Amino acid sequence: MKIINYVSVIAIPSIILLILLYAFMEKNKVFDIFLKGAKEGLQIVLQIFPTLVGIFVAVGVLRSSGVLDAIINFVSPITNLLKIPSQIMPLALIRPISGSASLAVATDILNTYGVDSTIGLIASTIMGSTETTFYTIAVYTSAVGIKKIRFVLLVALIADIVGMITSVVLWGIMS
């Protein structure tokens, strides 16, 4: 265990040192390259900023308007039939949209039901096995100017659903 701690402590400084040594051997101007990358990064931030603002506003409206609760009530007969706990449905609906909102929902689930409860374990597994699909697709496709995303979106949402259902099934078997 001590060796893992040692490796983890020296990993990042070692990588930085290797990059600097390689740049020195290649006679590259490291600081100029860094500044160029920082400038490009800021340009990307400016390009995706409107998309981020739109997503955050939409998530805020969804959570505060009660639409989320209405959707959960609407699908609850199906989820009850499939033995999917209704307590994780807010997380399942928010996770593809926003990472920060889903983190807040997961934290609330863990505080309410406990980290070792079946609901807490399902929520934790969902957080680790799914992605903020809409956010990720919107940010990356808008950064490079891709307009046709329907197939990417379909496959990503299917992967999220599989991750969520697998989380419920596995913790249902293991609990």
Helix and strand numbers (H, E) in the chain are 8, 0
Torsion of CA 95, 100, 102, 103, to 10 degrees: 130
Query: Residue 110: what pLDDT?
Result: 94
Lowest-pLDDT choice from 7-11, 60-64, 81-85, 159-163: 60-64
Residue 139 in domain: yes
Q: State pTM to two decimals.
A: 0.66
Supply the pLDDT for residue 170: 92
State the pLDDT at residue 83: 86
How remote is the C-alpha of 13 from its chain's centroid? 27
User: Rounded CA gap, 118 and 83, in Å?
Assistant: 13
| Residue 35 belongs to a domain | no
Q: Tell me, yes or no, whether 89 lies in a domain.
A: yes
Kindly state whether residue 9 falls inside one of the protein's structural domains.
no
- Domain-embedded: residue 17: no
pLDDT single digits (tens) 39-57: 998 988 888 788 778 777 8
Rounded-to-integer distance, Cα 60 and Cα 148, Å: 26
160 in any annotated domain: yes
**pLDDT tens profile 60-117:** 787 788 888 888 889 888 888 888 898 899 899 889 988 878 888 899 899 999 999 9
> Residue 60 sits in which domain range?
47-174
Q: What is the pLDDT of residue 39?
A: 93
In a domain, 115, yes or no: yes
Report the domain count for the chain: 1
Kindly report the average pLDDT of the chain as a whole number.
Answer: 87
| pLDDT beyond 70 at 1 | no
Q: Predicted confidence band at 168 (pLDDT cuts at 50, 70, 90)?
A: very high
18 domain residue, yes or no: no
